[in-house]
Amino acid sequence: MVVFNILKLYRGFDKQNRDWPQIYVILLASLGGFSSCALFSWPSPSIPILISNSSYIEYVTLEEASYFSIISSISTIVATPLVAILMNAIGRKKMITFMAIPHMLSWILIAVARNIICLYVSRAIYGISDAILYCVIPTYVSEIATPKVRGSWGNLIMISVFLGQFLINVVGAYYDIITTALVFVTLPIVHFALMLSAPESPYFLLMKNKETHAEESLKYLRWNENVKEEFTLLVKDVQRQTSESGTLMDLFIIETNRKALSIALAMRMFQQFSGFSAFAVYTQYMFSLAGGNLLASDCAIIFTGVSLLAGTLSSLVVDKFGRRPLMVFSNLGCTIALSIESIYFLIMHETNLNVSDFTWVPLAGMVLYIITSTAGLGILPSLMVGELFSASIKSKAVGVLSIFFSFCTIFVPKLFQLLSTNFHILVFVAMDGRYGESGDVNSAPGVDNNAWTMDIGGSVPYHNNNPSNSQIGKT
């Protein structure tokens, strides 16, 4: 609030650019996502180094390295119930600020590690912060931003995630593991310092009966001294919603909550079973399997760079094209892209045909995948988590979704590792979800995202023009 009082001296901001405080706060929260995804994608440039026995750490097998993503996800599952409680007890801002501490500890442990056990501990500590990323940040952004700002800038969180994935591959391609860790440990330090200037969610403050502080927070976020009308509506809305039942069972018993949960779970499942987390963890290793004229590290940089660009562009058109069309387009595009990859590796490994003139196909196919996946699957699930549930049930809902998401990030990267080790081509066949016995998509080892999306397509809203406490039943 000190920032607000200082900047009020510049009266030129009072009549224009009133959205910028909300954008600034979303950017601060997004730094947590940036740092988190850099840690999540850290195995991408590190696994090839570790399994080649060319680092300062004792020899690591691919099987041992596969547990990097599993350990962090288990840690997230364990931490999620506590995070869901604390976000309503001490506040959203404090929780987002706290997530910088596990990030710092994790990077420090990576820098000083001399064996894989230390790396495992680092991943376990990092997983705690992911519970905050999945539970608290979407809730915080949905509560502090207007529908207009949330539609245009809410995707800063996912853009920061893509940026973290990109930069860890860039830095990791040119520097060793220790130097990379020392570079990235500065991120949580900056995040911690800047979050101290952010306001608490006015929703949370009203839930704690701190009306004066809530009004001050709203004035800062709206960059307007006169917020009486909106504040009055906000007070009534919070009172109504907090008076409603908000138990965990209500999430499954009440029809609107159950419908919202089913849509949110489906979107998370589609996102992960399209290969999203597996490709983030094994980016460089994946391209090393594919071969080609470019180095695996260069391919990984191109892949993650395109994902950053596509994520940024997609965030600008979400409200223009609508959520439902983008989800259908995204799933269809992923199916086509991964089918191309499947066919290429099938021909490469199971036939005698010469594919030396087509070594560009894996990179081209993955670029197509990342463009189409980012358009919907990459950004919409995280954006809509905070929009689908009312305040009374939101903490329980995001907790359930966080646990489900973490289970997916355990299963999918491990599936990738097992298939790439034993079957090669089935990596992309499984992620495609169109391959099965007798050509039946229902017998596929993966999920046919495009087909499943059609089942919920009528339930995903085209646009979100509702307040941050919207339920699916009201959209």
B/e letters for 46-73, b = 16+ CB within 10 Å, e = fewer, are bbbbbbeeebebeebeeeebbbbbbbbb
pLDDT of 15: 52
Query: Which residue carries 């547990």 as its tokens?
Result: 67
Decide if 160 contacts 37 (C-beta within 8 A): yes
Q: For residue 213, is it within any domain?
A: no
Q: For residue 322, is it within any domain?
A: yes
Give the Cα separation of 206 and 302 in Å (integer). Answer: 46
Give the Cα separation of 218 and 144 in Å (integer). Answer: 8
pLDDT of 435: 34
pLDDT of 104: 97
Q: For residue 228, is it within any domain?
A: no
pLDDT of 471: 40
Amino acid at residue number 182: L
Which CA distances in Å does 50 have to 3, 297, 298, 363? 45, 14, 18, 24
Q: For residue 230, is it within any domain?
A: no
Q: For residue 37, is it within any domain?
A: yes
465: three-class secondary structure by DSSP: coil
Q: For residue 218, is it within any domain?
A: no
Q: For residue 9, is it within any domain?
A: no
Q: How many CA atoms lie within 13 A of 174 on its CB side?
A: 6
pLDDT of 289: 66
Number of separate domains in the chain: 1
Pick the closest to residue 329 from 317, 340, 341 (CA basis): 317
**Residues of the domain holding 285:** 18-198+244-474
Question: How far is C-alpha 182 from the geometric centre of its chain's CA atoms?
Answer: 24
B/e letters for 320-357, b = 16+ CB within 10 Å, e = fewer, are eeebbebbbbbbbbbbbbbbbbbbbbbbbeeeeeeeee
Q: For residue 421, is it within any domain?
A: yes
Give the Cα separation of 305 and 181 in Å (integer). Answer: 20
Residue 263: give its domain's CATH number: 1.20.1250.20
Instruction: Please give the chain's pLDDT, 475 residues, in tens.
Output: 444 444 444 444 455 567 889 999 999 999 999 999 999 999 989 988 888 877 778 788 888 988 998 999 999 999 999 998 899 899 999 999 999 999 999 999 999 998 999 999 999 999 999 999 988 998 898 889 888 887 778 778 888 988 999 999 999 999 999 999 999 999 999 999 999 999 999 999 998 999 999 999 999 999 888 888 899 999 988 888 777 667 888 888 888 888 989 988 988 888 888 777 777 777 777 777 666 667 878 888 888 888 888 888 877 777 777 778 888 888 888 888 888 888 888 888 778 888 888 888 888 888 888 888 888 887 777 767 666 887 678 778 888 888 998 888 888 888 777 777 776 555 555 555 433 333 332 322 333 344 333 344 444 555 454 444 444 333 3
pLDDT of 245: 61
